[in-house]
Structure 1
Amino acid sequence: MRFLPVFLDLQAGPILLIGAGELVRAKLRLLLAANARIRWHAIDGDRELAGLDPVAADAIEFAEGNPLAADLHGVIAVMCAGAGDLGPMMALRAKAVGLPVNVMDDLDNSTFIFPAIVDRGDVVVAVGTGGTSPVVARRVREMIEGVLPARIGDLASFIGRWRKSINARISEAPLRRRFWERVVDGDIGAKILAGRGSEAEQALGAITDLPAFAGASHEGAAKGHVTLVGAGPGDPDLLTIKALRALQDADVVFYDELVSPEILDRIRRDASRVPVGRRIGKPGIGQDATNRLLVEAAKAGQRAVRLKGGDPFIFGRGGEEIEVLRAAGVSYSIIPGITAGLGAAAMFEAPLTYRGEALRITFLTAHKEKDAGAVDWSVLTDAKMTIVVYMGMTAAPAIREGLIAAGRLPQTPVGVFARVTRPDAQAAVGTLENLPALVAQITGGPAILIIGDVVAHSAPWRAANINKLVSDILVAAE
């Protein structure tokens, strides 16, 4: 490690900034965001501040004259960006008086460098590569951005406001540490991260026996919580940031069989994993047993995740589960996911709505033929309605018969989209009258059926028509 990460107090004195053009303005934006005091030598005479916060820009002091002769008294660091040959010369002067100096893109003349920064208020993460690869540093920063809670800075500020008064009431340092661990990892910290700061303030203020709270076993006495998480249709990169954070925080994860292995790999390594879902021919443990496991985990003080393919509230029985949790007095939260219908639409370029053609959408499920028989198809005959059917492969013949009998045209475009957003995704497109034959082309589910004129805009439909056109041309040429 050549460069030691440190944090500079920018309120201790001004930063002497030397340079011109967009390079120096990028540094201005960075320093202003950190509330720095800036003394700027604009070596080209252009002091334009367009695009900068006018209030923050009040922190800029415009310096005159030759920066090589500038008064360095009180200056805490020197920075050069877009300074040309002045950069190395200014570095020599700064080093001579022991001031930290950074010359942009010049490691030999710099005594400090800028990391890639993740800024969450009171929580700041710096990522460096020793100046060798800023692009790699930015990529690592993006990864951290993806898992760091948006309100983690609020949590640090919250603890900062309470720390002095709480620590004064807990004399032993190890006990103080356990107290704050329980706050951060428990329900109070979860409230802050969820934006419910006033509830967190009340909860912390209501703790009367601080040592007892700190000494309570996290596993046994802590209040558990259940999070219903939508895993999306399969691509792990489609997990929301909140979903990924929940998987990393979980003590136990109860997951559906449709959740992809790549998503299961995002679960914290030492968390327990319990399969509870079902597929055709595999009934699973049943919904009642799943409900019971969720309640038991929470009452044992665990952070439990109920991980569902797609979205918990779209044919995912999420509503039933929160009713059980509510009745049991269990704390819970819901993190939505991208439902498979939207995943199919995006992957295969099948817009579910289209101006002038498709003005409304209906989502329905038809797991078995009897499910299709219970649908009132007469309300689904509008040609300007897109129908998205979940779990409809087995019931495809009944779906076709029901829609055609109700008045939907046999020539209505349809698509069968299987394993959407995954590398082995598959599509078959055609018309409603041929729906069972299209399903037969699919080598395995889960699959979404999209019925409506919008399917004619999809990539598979366009490809099929191009292939047919080429085939017709070849036949004609023969």
Structure 2
Amino acid sequence: MGYFPFYYDITGRTFLVIGGGKIAAEKVSRLKQFTDAIIVVAPETEISDVKVLRRAFREEDLSLGDFVVAATGIREVDRAVASECRRRGIPVNAVDDQASCDYIFPSIIKRGDLTVAISTSGKSPAYAMQLRREIEQILPPEIEEILARMGRLRGEVAKRIPEQRRRADCYRKLLAALIGSGNGLTEEETCAIIGAASGDGQEQSDQTSDR
């Protein structure tokens, strides 16, 4: 058995983080990249950019979260929280206790709509972090703008090129041109790539040669 890497729509879902130390703060920081629906329960904490209940954890607090992160730093407490979560059917992450986890946190790269998640299934978080740094170095600085532009072009390409193989080839050429130009591809150049892939360019060339 292992972990299946899938992207889950957390719209309308709340994360309950139990604990207020550095480990809990790190988990909150990662979650904040994707949602503001976070509740922290801790008697003392420096976490301040989400909802915080400044008191000791109570078992009834589990009703506040759709996902739970047990991050008190006290193994017995975190395991007790995880055990109760499992009894209630609430997915739980118990920090540094993989046997008590229903889900784990991968090493994450987030650049706008681009999300890259790297995991070694808990075997070597250090290698996951190293690999994340290596991937970050090869990402184009303009990747957010490039992906936004590719998203806008998808509809036009799909409309003009019904054949899947040619459409995929067009996407590859557009992406390569956008990356190669640092998102400096002009509208004229963009239209030329799409036109060539759709056959418009060939048709125009044939018409010109007939004159």
- TM-superposed CA distance for 1:72, in Å, is 2.9
Cα separation, 1, equivalents of 2:72 and 2:62: 21
* Equivalent runs, 1:18-417 vs 2, <5 Å: 18-42=18-42, 45-49=43-47, 57=49, 60-63=50-53, 66-70=57-61, 72=63, 75-84=65-74, 85-185=76-176, 187-191=177-181, 194-196=182-184, 199-201=185-187, 203-205=189-191, 209=195, 211-212=198-199
Cα separation, 1, equivalents of 2:3 and 2:62: 28
- TM-superposed CA distance for 1:164, in Å, is 2.5
Alpha carbons of 1:167 and 1:98: their partners in 2 closer, same or farther (altered >3 Å)? farther
- TM-superposed CA distance for 1:17, in Å, is 1.1
1:48 maps to amino acid: E
Contact 1:77–1:100, Cα closer than 8 Å, also in 2: yes
Cα separation, 2, equivalents of 1:99 and 1:195: 44
- TM-superposed CA distance for 1:176, in Å, is 1.8
What corresponds to 1:396 in structure 2?
none
- TM-superposed CA distance for 1:4, in Å, is 1.8
- TM-superposed CA distance for 1:177, in Å, is 1.2
- TM-superposed CA distance for 1:130, in Å, is 1.0
Alpha carbons of 1:38 and 1:189: their partners in 2 closer, same or farther (altered >3 Å)? same
Contact 2:16–2:67, Cα closer than 8 Å, also in 1: yes
Cα separation, 1, equivalents of 2:88 and 2:81: 11
* Equivalent runs, 1:433-472 vs 2, <5 Å: none
Taking structure 1 as the reference length, what is the TM-score of the superposition? 0.38
Contact 2:170–2:193, Cα closer than 8 Å, also in 1: no
1:81 maps to amino acid: A
Taking structure 2 as the reference length, what is the TM-score of the superposition? 0.79
Q: CA RMSD in A?
A: 2.8
Structure 2 residue runs without a partner (length 5+): 203-211
Cα separation, 1, equivalents of 2:16 and 2:84: 12
Higher strand share: 1
Cα separation, 1, equivalents of 2:112 and 2:15: 21
Using the aligned pairs only, state the percent identity.
26
Alpha carbons of 1:71 and 1:213: their partners in 2 closer, same or farther (altered >3 Å)? farther
Contact 2:21–2:45, Cα closer than 8 Å, also in 1: no
1:10 maps to amino acid: I
SS of the residue aligned with 1:102? Answer: strand
What corresponds to 2:205 in structure 1?
none
Q: For residues 166-214 of structure 1, give each alpha carbon's deviation from its aligned partner in whole angstroms, at most 9, with x where no partner exists.
A: 31332222222111111112x23423xx253xx4455435667351279
1:152 maps to amino acid: I
What corresponds to 1:3 in structure 2?
3
Q: Which one has more relative contact order, counting CA pairs under 8 Å at least 6 apart?
A: 2
Cα separation, 1, equivalents of 2:170 and 2:200: 7
SS of the residue aligned with 2:108? Answer: strand
Max Rg structure? 1
- TM-superposed CA distance for 1:109, in Å, is 0.3
Query: Where do 4+ consecutive residues of structure 1 move more than 6 Å?
Result: none
1:12 maps to amino acid: G
- TM-superposed CA distance for 1:127, in Å, is 1.4
- Count of aligned pairs between the two proteins: 199
Cα separation, 2, equivalents of 1:176 and 1:62: 49
- TM-superposed CA distance for 1:105, in Å, is 0.4
Alpha carbons of 1:214 and 1:174: their partners in 2 closer, same or farther (altered >3 Å)? farther
Cα separation, 2, equivalents of 1:208 and 1:125: 28
Higher helix share: 2
